[in-house]
């Protein structure tokens, strides 16, 4: 096998990561693929070798398709620089689309009930952190992992701004609603009396150190059960991550209802949610009766001559 193939891996990954892709497991995956090429006695990337590697690992068709997609992208990179070293791998050789879990879209009243239930937890620090976590997710749409990773230095109460580091390692600024900033200011007063020496974490558990998200998810499930939030038809059990979906849908409903430019709203929402592309934002948009009504009203106004864009 050409030594140039192995040398191409770090260069390829560096270029992709510079464009915002995380690619956590790709280096190990591509090295394993080249190992399989050597074991087959092949000197270049071929379609049969790529498919054989993708399907050799135990797992679902979705996992096999993901493995092939990683190899396909790398093969395209290599082929573009040296056609003799790699054949292009066509898309769709292993058709498998991930099953989309239908999110639980919390109403405002349900969010208030969950926050009230969290505030009744014991001890007091855990109650404050869980209430703050729920309120923060509902009001900003950030990921639960992003919220759990926040440090106190990321919060500017006076400026009503939150600095959030996304899963691709890039930091974005989130404008906070005045009520959210006020709630966080109140939380910090409780935090000051319970934080362990030297901790920088914004959300802390009962020991005064960074809140464990697995613990938070388990507590939230208990809170949701206590608030009688049962899975809706076709949905899984309510999760913390569902607040992100609810935020996206609510934002789009407001855009339609206020007659704002929806395309511009989607682009802004993508930046707010920390997406590399607006295409990723559509994953979070679920058609609800409220959204359908807003769109229908907008369409009716358009055809009646109102033409609110």
Contacts with 295 (C-beta within 8 Å, 6 or more apart), sequence order: 256
pLDDT band at 289 (very low <50, low <70, confident <90, very high): very low
Domain presence at residue 290: yes
Q: Is 194 among the catalytic positions?
A: no
Full domain range(s) for residue 30: 3-81
CATH label of the domain that carries residue 211: 1.10.443.10
Residue 136, pLDDT > 60, answer: yes
Is 153 assigned a catalytic role?
A: no
Q: Which of 26, 67, 143, 298 is catalytic?
A: 143
Whether 241 is a known active-site residue: answer yes
Burial of 153 (C-beta count, 10 Å sphere; 0-12/13-18/19+): exposed
In a domain, 34, yes or no: yes
Known catalytic membership, residue 284: yes
Hey, which of 72-76, 228-232, 276-280 has the most confident mean pLDDT?
Answer: 72-76
How far, in whole angstroms, is CA 284 from its chain's centroid?
A: 9
Q: Above 70 in pLDDT, residue 233?
A: no
- Among 12, 187, 284, 298, the one annotated catalytic: 284
Percent with pLDDT over 70 in the chain? 79
pLDDT value at 293 more than 60: no
pLDDT (mean) for 73-81: 95
Tell me what pLDDT residue 80 has: 93
Higher pLDDT among residues 231 and 48, named by residue: 48
**Beta-bridge partner residues of 162:** 155, 174
Determine, yes or no, domain membership for 101: no
- 2: which 2 tokens? 């050409």
In a domain, 26, yes or no: yes
Range 158-170 average pLDDT:
88
255 within domain boundaries: yes
Residue 98 lies in a domain: no
Report the number of distinct structural domains present in the chain.
Answer: 3
| Residue 79 neighbours by CB under 8 Å, 6+ apart | 45, 85, 86, 87, 88
Q: Check residue 262 and give its pLDDT.
A: 59
User: In sequence order, what are the beta bridge partners of 235?
Assistant: 102
Please identify which of the residues 167, 280, 308, 309 carries the catalytic annotation.
167
Angle at 231 between CA 204 and CA 251, to 5 degrees: 65
Taking the CA atoms of residue 66, residue 71, residue 74 and residue 75 in that order, the dihedral angle to the nearest 10 degrees is -140
> What pLDDT was estimated at residue 54?
95
Per-residue pLDDT tens digits for 141-151: 899 999 999 99
The question of whether 21 is a catalytic residue gets the answer no
Which region among 89-103, 109-123, 275-289 has the lowest average model confidence (pLDDT)?
275-289
Same domain, 126 and 175: yes
Active site residue 64: no
Instruction: Taking residues 148-162, report their average pLDDT.
Output: 96
List the catalytic residue out of 244, 245, 272, 298: 244
Last residue of a domain, one of 159, 191, 226: 226
Question: Sheet holding 155-156: strands in order across?
Answer: 155-156, 161-165, 171-175
pLDDT digits (tens, 9 = 90+) for 175-209: 999 999 999 999 999 999 999 999 999 999 999 99
Query: Across residues 113-126, what is the average pLDDT?
Result: 97
Indicate whether 283 pLDDT > 80: no
119 and 154 part of one domain: yes
Segment 205-216, tens digit of pLDDT? 999 999 999 999
Measured distance CA(112)–CA(217) in Å, rounded: 18
267 and 222 share one domain:
no
Mean pLDDT taken over the chain: 85
């Amino acid at each position: 096998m050409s030594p140039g193939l192995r040398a191409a891996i770090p260069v390829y990954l560096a270029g992709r990561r510079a464009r915002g892709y995380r690619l956590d497991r790709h280096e190990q995956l591509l090295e394993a693929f080249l190992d399989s090429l050597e074991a087959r006695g092949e000197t270049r990337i071929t379609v049969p070798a790529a498919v054989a590697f993708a399907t050799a690992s135990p797992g679902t068709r979705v996992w096999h398709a993901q493995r092939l997609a990683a190899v396909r992208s790398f093969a395209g990179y290599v082929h573009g620089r040296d056609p003799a070293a790699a054949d292009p791998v066509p898309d769709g050789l292993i058709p498998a689309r991930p099953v989309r879990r239908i999110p639980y879209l919390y109403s405002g009243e349900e969010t208030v009930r969950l926050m009230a239930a969290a505030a009744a937890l014991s001890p007091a620090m855990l109650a404050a952190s869980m209430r703050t976590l729920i309120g923060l997710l509902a009001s900003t749409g950030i990921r639960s992992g992003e919220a759990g990773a926040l440090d106190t230095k990321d919060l500017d109460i006076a400026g009503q701004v939150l600095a959030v580091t996304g899963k691709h390692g890039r930091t974005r600024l989130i404008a906070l609603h005045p009520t959210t900033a006020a709630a966080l200011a109140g939380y910090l007063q409780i935090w000051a009396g319970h934080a362990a020496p030297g901790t920088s974490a914004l959300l802390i558990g009962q020991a005064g150190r960074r809140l464990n998200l697995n613990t938070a998810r388990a507590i939230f499930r208990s809170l949701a059960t206590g608030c009688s939030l049962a899975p809706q038809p076709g949905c899984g059990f309510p999760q913390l991550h569902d607040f992100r979906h609810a935020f996206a849908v609510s934002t789009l409903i407001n855009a339609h209802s206020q007659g704002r430019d929806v395309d511009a709203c989607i682009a802004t929402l993508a930046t707010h949610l920390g997406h590399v592309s607006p295409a990723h934002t559509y994953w979070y948009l679920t058609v609800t009766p409220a959204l359908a009504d807003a769109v229908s009203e907008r369409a009716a106004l358009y055809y009646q001559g109102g033409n609110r864009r």
